[in-house]
Amino acid sequence: MFDASVLVRAVFAGLDGLVVQDVEEGDDGLVVAAVTCGGPVACPVCGRPSTRLHAWHERAPADLPVAGVRVELRVRVRRLVCQSPHCPRRTFREQVPGVLERYQRRTARLTVALEAVVTELAGRASARLAPALGMGLRRDTALRVLRAIALPALVVPRVLGIDDFALRRGQVYATVLIDADTGRRIDVLPGRDAEVVKAWLTDHRGVQVVTRDGSTTYAQAVRDVLPDATQVADRWHLWHGLGDAVGKEVAAHSACWAATTATGMRTGRIAETTAQRWAQVRDLRDAGVGLLDCSRRLGIALNTVKRYDRAAKPEQIARPPRYRATLVDPYRDHLRRRRQAEPGVSVQQLLAEIRALGYTGSQNLLYRYLGQHRHLDEHSHLSPRRATRLLLTRPSTLTERQTERLRQLVGACPEMTALHDLVGAFARLLVPDEANSDALTAWIDQARAAPLPHAHSFVRGLEQDRDAVVAAVTLPHHNGRTEGVNTRTKMLKRQTYGRAGFDLLRHRILLTA
């Protein structure tokens, strides 16, 4: 036999200190009549218990909804007389700690539920979701509830992760500090200059290890305040920096690997103009003209002049054409076979044939595709970016076709072979081990011996932050959790766009897990 009292006890289990007398259906939900349990209550001023009744009052706080239906409590509470003759407060209203707090229009458990919602969704999204859950909430109230949530106590971590993020990209930045071991948010500081970080570190001693990116500002701030702390460069940023250098080297040797991978180089007016500009820059530089003056005389950007000046020959500036994937690519093999079997076949005939196979593109697209001779490529076009990706990808994840293209790429010239060896050796350094300190020194010597100027530039950056790089490849600490916080912060900014000042954003960052 069904026992309704079991259901009632389960639904109202959080209302300890109240006696539920009746439940009825109201205009917009359920109305629960309840009364306090009675007994002596301590005066909030003098602390003396009292049971002397002065009057009854009724409170109508909202409670947790039941099956999406709004619930309102009608609670009768007592006003008691303080029995101490010296107490300045003659009467006081009894409270129900943990259920009803002073001046609140909602129960404590409903407040906890709302706090969970506004912590994740903030204002507008909370105001849209709460009514569907049976909880009335306006967006301004949601923000007030959010701001009222107490922040966790600040505990200085042993391993501190530090990074910056944009409040307004390119203009205003802030600094986030976390416990790098647990991911717990520690603090958010306005600005990213050294003085802000130094002031915080001075007031919060106890940090022994600091994980960071390649920021020289943070590095100097830590050295000034915590000279004995170990600074650890982030391994992802080291790999990213190497990837940039590899991409530049691959682009500089495009003429080498383009031939071995069946990737055509740019021809025509663009290639001729590039060669002419390179010759003009070299002539001016041989005559003693400075880089900036070359830029002004030739009317080209200074960075372009620098790139031409670094190239020993025009082939190092040449680049493969940039081809994007098109609707014709799936029919490349058919077009190549037809042109090889019948060189004079018309484009109209080819268009009719591939349309029968499912082609949905235009005739002009097919004309351009054939005019660029892309149908002659046995593989998809290899750009410098895709070639760089082959070098940086873990070999075990490459397909058989990608492995073959990588073999062609690496064997194109001695420089590409040396670059491939450097990438593999550096990847092994990113697995922390105590022996990596000596291995890093050997890698730097190997990179300096290779004829790779962009790799030399990367090595100079490593040397400037040598201690932090050594710590990165020998210690298990990293800054990955800090980067994850920054990624989540972007979502928090979008949720409160237009109403989120720094204080509110800081509050949400410190509350989110």
200: domain CATH number is 3.30.420.10
User: Residue 172 and residue 3: Cα distance in Å, rounded?
Assistant: 62
Angle between helix 384-392 and 235-252 (nearest 10): 140
Strands 30-36 and 69-81: parallel
SS3 288: coil
pTM of the predicted structure, to 2 decimals: 0.73
Residue 241 belongs to some domain of the structure: no
Which among 376, 410, 440 is the end of a domain? 376
Q: How many CA atoms lie within 13 A of 197 on its CB side?
A: 28
Residue 1 has pLDDT above 80, yes or no: no
Alpha carbon separation from 353 to 261, 347, 362, 363 (Å, rounded): 29, 10, 13, 12
For the chain, percent of residues with pLDDT exceeding 70? 90
pLDDT band, residue 375 (cuts 50/70/90): low
19-23, 307-311, 366-370, 473-477: which is most confident? 473-477
Determine the residue type at 238. L
405-448 pLDDT, tens digit each: 889 888 888 999 999 999 999 999 999 998 999 999 999 999 99
Same domain assignment for residues 276 and 371: yes
In this model, does residue 491 exceed pLDDT 70? Answer: yes
Number of residues assigned to the chain: 513
18 plus 64 within the same structural domain:
yes
| Any domain includes 437 | yes
Q: Among the three residues 348, 376, 404, which one is the final residue of a domain in this structure?
A: 376
Return the closest-CA partner of residue 433 out of 393, 473, 478.
473
Q: 41-42 and 69-81 as β-strands: parallel, antiparallel, unpaired?
A: unpaired
* Residue 243 domain flag: no
Q: For residues 422 and 49, what is the distance between their CA atoms, to the nearest angstrom? A: 79
Verify that 458 and 438 share a domain, yes or no: yes
Number of H helices, E strands in the chain: 22, 13
Mean pLDDT of 323-331: 79
Lowest mean pLDDT of 128-137, 312-321, 367-376, name the range.
312-321
- Residue 239 token pair: 């790999």
* 195 in a structural domain: yes
Identify the pLDDT of residue 322: 65
What average pLDDT does the segment 494-509 reach? 80
Confidence check: pLDDT of 376 > 80: no
Do 369 and 280 fall into the same domain? yes
Residues 217 and 178 in one domain: yes
Please check whether residues 79 and 16 belong to one and the same domain.
Answer: yes
368 and 269 inside one domain: yes
Residue 445 falls inside a structural domain:
yes
The C-alpha atoms of residue 432 and residue 424 are separated, in whole angstroms, by 15
Question: CA-CA distance, 75 to 430, in Å (whole number)?
Answer: 64
CA distances to 107, 206, 460, 465 from 453, in Å: 68, 42, 11, 19
Structure tokens at 462: 């490593």
Q: What is the mean pLDDT of residues 220-242?
A: 92
Mean pLDDT, residues 91-101 taken together: 84
Q: Is residue 49 part of a domain?
A: yes
Long-range CB contacts (within 8 A, 24+) of 473-476: 473/235, 473/429, 473/430, 473/432, 473/433, 473/436, 473/437, 473/439, 473/440, 474/432, 474/433, 474/434, 474/436, 474/437, 475/209, 475/230, 475/232, 475/432, 476/432
The reported pLDDT for the residue numbered 44 is: 86
C-alpha distance from residue 64 to each of 11, 14, 31, 164, 237 (Å): 9, 10, 12, 40, 47
Which is higher by pLDDT, 59 or 444? Answer: 444
- First-to-last CA distance in the chain? 45
The domain boundary residue, chosen from 127, 148, 169: 148
Q: β-strands 209-212, 159-168: how paired?
A: parallel
Place of tokens 């100027």: 453
Q: Yes or no: say if 302 and 295 are a contact pair by the CB < 8 Å rule.
A: yes
The amino acid present at 327, given as its one-letter code, is L
pLDDT value for 168:
82
CA distance 432 to 430: 6
Domain of 181, in residue numbers: 159-234+478-511
- The residue written with tokens 């600490």 in the block is 477
Q: Answer yes or no: is 259 within a domain.
A: no
Residue 247 in any domain: the answer is no
Amino acid identity, residue 28? D
Mean confidence (pLDDT) of the chain: 85
Structure confidence at residue 232 (pLDDT): 93
Same domain, residue pair 416 and 464 = yes
* 265-296 tens-digit pLDDT: 555 576 677 778 888 888 888 888 888 988 88
Using one digit for the tens of pLDDT, what is the confidence trace for 198-222?
999 999 988 999 999 888 899 999 9
Residues 312 and 330 in one domain: yes
Q: Is there a single domain that holds both residue 46 and residue 137? A: no
One domain for residues 101 and 115 = no
**Domains held by the chain: number:** 5
User: How distant, in Å, are the alpha carbons of 73, 162, 167, 198 from that of 190?
Assistant: 44, 13, 9, 13
- Indicate the range of 153-157, 184-188, 254-258 predicted with least confidence: 254-258
Question: Six-digit token pair at 208?
Answer: 């022994």
Residue-level pLDDT at 318: 67
**Residues 408, 242: contact at Cβ < 8 Å?**
no
**Is pLDDT at 303 greater than 60 in this prediction?**
yes
Q: Do 366 and 390 have their domain in common?
A: no
